[in-house]
Amino acid sequence: MVHSTHPHPDSAPVHSGGLNTTPAPAEIKPQPSRYGTPLDTGTKDGLRLSVVLITDPEKLNEYVADWEDLAAHALEANIFYEHWFLIPAAKAFGSEVDLTFVLIFGTNLDQPTGPPILCGVFPLERHSKCVGLPVSTLSLWKHNQCFLCTPLLRKSLARYTLDAFFKYLASEAAHCSLVDLTFVSGDGPFSHVLGELLYQRALPWFVFESYPRAMMTTVAEADTYLQSTISGRHRKELRRKEKRLGEQGSLEYKTLQADGDSEAWIKSFLDLEAGGWKGEEGSALITKESERQFFQSVAREAFRRGRLLMLALTLNDQPVAQKCNFLAGDGAFAFKIAYDERRSEFSPGVLLEIENIRRIHSLSGVRWMDSCAEAKHFMINRLWTERRTIQSIIVPTKGGWGEFLVSLMPLLRWLKRKLGRSGRLKEL
């Protein structure tokens, strides 16, 4: 749908404590300053914002300390856009795409005379088309190992940071008519801040894609959760399969400990995944050297930070299923699972998912877990009954051509449905 926003009756320029949305955007050019080019986004108790544009991923390493602090105070957690995940991803997958990393800095209101603090990180990919239309577009970068693109925004300054980002998008430096906020959270704090900003800027937007993704919110006891999500008959059947599998040898559930051999765990996961259908079709991580190195890099760094949660179901000390998760504040992201398909009759992957539910419930401070699964993932949707919304939203960066195209998108979607079957209209 297209959401049309209209100016509020009190939409005169707001300066003290508000968003200045009426002035035409000034041209923004990259500058050598560490904290970038100042932006005119209004004031709040002396707040000043600036933008830094980076095209060389190596330069991102200069901002690691700032980035760490931002992630610790983010409006919404997203491990895929933290530096230890994003920089290796840029090295592995960024060489064939046109990337720009937009960093927004702002005044530290607790220390107004001190250096600016990092308030937002926006990895952007440039495209010459958007949903089949020949128009210059910037989108939040999503590579094939990234399952969430919600940008990191400093919680205390999220609204002002997002306004600064749209100020950049409307400038000559961005050189785009549309921005594709792909694979962002469609509910929660980010969605609320975005909706408020688009309303204030009187910008229409088009929800190009939206789907419910399985997630888990912990309760007091894991058994309580399992009883509420899995029928008694299904639980009985899983216990039967676990018993039958255990008749073949010593069956154990294991967790990679803080003093464990992470390299052995990482290697066994890669080997197990490669031994299944992903290996046969060439999509296993080990198939491409760049993806193997990427996974090893992020897994090692997550382990060093105490944020790697790897589980295994072993038979005679050999893994028949392994799962890789990443921790993020009071939550976690399920990244990958692999299992021995020769023993699929015993459902080793499902058995490990049950253990994963128990393990997450045992972790102090962890309140939720994002499955990172596709919409129609039968197994996860059966075990996890809660959902979060994942959306891709297209927004014009300013009035004119981009706004006209966004307004046309519902019509184009309708034409696709009417004419698509006959092949008379290419897929949007």
Separation of alpha carbons 428 and 21, rounded Å:
32
pLDDT, position 113: 80
Separation of alpha carbons 134 and 147, rounded Å:
26
Separation of alpha carbons 97 and 114, rounded Å:
37
DSSP symbol at 304: H
Q: How far is CA 228 from CA 175, 218, 235, 305, in A?
A: 51, 12, 11, 34
Q: Give me the CATH topology for the region 219-366.
A: Aminopeptidase (3.40.630)
Dihedral sign for Cα atoms in the order 150, 155, 69, 120: positive
> Are 394 and 178 a contacting pair, CB within 8 Å?
yes
Q: How far is CA 141 from CA 99, 284, 347, in A?
A: 8, 21, 35
Which 3-state string (H, E, C) describes 376-421? CCHHHHHHCCEEEEEEEEEEECCCCHHHHHHHHHHHHHHHHHHHHH
Listed ranges 2-11, 326-335, 400-409; the one with the highest mean pLDDT:
326-335
pLDDT, position 110: 79
- pLDDT tens for 17-46 read 333 333 334 344 444 467 776 665 555 567
- pLDDT tens for 276-294 read 888 888 889 999 999 999 9
Lowest mean pLDDT across 77-86, 123-132, 324-333, 349-358: 123-132
Separation of alpha carbons 180 and 396, rounded Å:
9
- pLDDT tens for 300-320 read 999 999 999 999 999 999 999
pLDDT, position 108: 83
Average pLDDT, the chain: 87
The domain locations on the chain are 2-212+390-422, 219-366
pLDDT, position 131: 64
The reply to whether the predicted model has a pTM over 0.85 is yes
Enter the tokens of residue 259. Answer: 């003093």
pLDDT, position 1: 46
**Strand partners for 210:** 391
Helix (H, G, I), strand (E, B) or coil at 129: coil
Does the pLDDT of residue 184 top 70, yes or no?
Answer: yes
Helix (H, G, I), strand (E, B) or coil at 4: coil
